Amino acid sequence: MARILGAVATSHSPTIGFALDARKQDDPVWAPIFASYEPVREWLGRTHPDVLFVIYNDHVTSFFFDHYSHFTLGIGERYEPADEGGGARALPTLRGHAALAHHIGRSLVADEFDLSFFQDRPLDHGCFSPLSLMCPHETAWPTPVIPLQVGVLQFPAPSALRCYKLGKALRRGIESYPEDLSVVIVATGGLSHQVHGERAGFNNREWDMEFLDRIENDPAALTQLTHADYARLGGMESSEVVMWLIMRAALSDRVRKVHQTYYLPSMTALATAIYEDLGPEPDERALAEHRARMARPLAGAEQLPGTYPFTLETSVRAYRLNRFLHQLVAPGHRRRFLSEPETLFAEYGLTADECDMVRRRDWRAMIHYGVIFFVLEKLGAVVGVSNLHIYAAMRGELLDEFWKTRNAPGALYSVAGPAGRTWEK
Active site residues: 125, 193
CB-nearer residue toward Fe ion: 177 or 202:
202
Here's the x/- map for Fe ion, 181-220, by CB under 5 A: it reads as ----------------------------------------
Q: Cβ of 208: how many Cβ atoms within 10 Å?
A: 23
CB-nearer residue toward Fe ion: 77 or 240:
240
Nearby residues of 265 by Cβ (< 8 Å), 6 or more positions away: 15, 29, 30, 32, 33
Half-sphere exposure of 219 (CA within 13 A, CB side): 25
Here's the x/- map for Fe ion, 78-117, by CB under 5 A: it reads as ----------------------------------------
Q: How many residues bind Fe ion (CB under 5 A)?
A: 1
CB-nearer residue toward Fe ion: 243 or 385:
243
- What DSSP designation does 282 have? P
Least distance to Fe ion from the beta carbon of 256, Å? 27
CB-nearer residue toward Fe ion: 111 or 240:
240
- Residue 156, SS3? coil
- Residue 371, SS3? coil
Closest residue to bound Fe ion by CB? 240
Pairing label, strands 116-118, 94-95: unpaired
Least distance to Fe ion from the beta carbon of 75, Å? 23
Q: Are 310 and 294 in contact, with CB atoms under 8 Å apart? A: no
Least distance to Fe ion from the beta carbon of 45, Å? 26
d(CA 21, CA 408): 66
- Residue 262, SS3? strand
CA 408 to chain centre: 44
CB-nearer residue toward Fe ion: 174 or 242:
242
> Of 15-23, 233-241, 270-278, 346-354, which segment contacts Fe ion by CB under 5 A?
233-241
d(CA 108, CA 333): 37
Least distance to Fe ion from the beta carbon of 255, Å? 24
- Residue 64, SS3? coil
Least distance to Fe ion from the beta carbon of 65, Å? 16
Closest of 195, 259, 198 to residue 38, by C-alpha: 259
Half-sphere exposure of 40 (CA within 13 A, CB side): 29
Largest CA distance in the chain: 81
Pairing label, strands 78-79, 71-74: unpaired
Q: Are 70 and 166 in contact, with CB atoms under 8 Å apart? A: no
First to last CA, the chain: 60
Least distance to Fe ion from the beta carbon of 408, Å? 55
> Of 73-81, 203-211, 218-226, 240-248, which segment contacts Fe ion by CB under 5 A?
240-248
Least distance to Fe ion from the beta carbon of 128, Å? 12
CB-nearer residue toward Fe ion: 176 or 203:
203
d(CA 315, CA 414): 24
CB-nearer residue toward Fe ion: 208 or 240:
240
The residues that touch Fe ion, with contacts defined as CB under 5 A, are 240
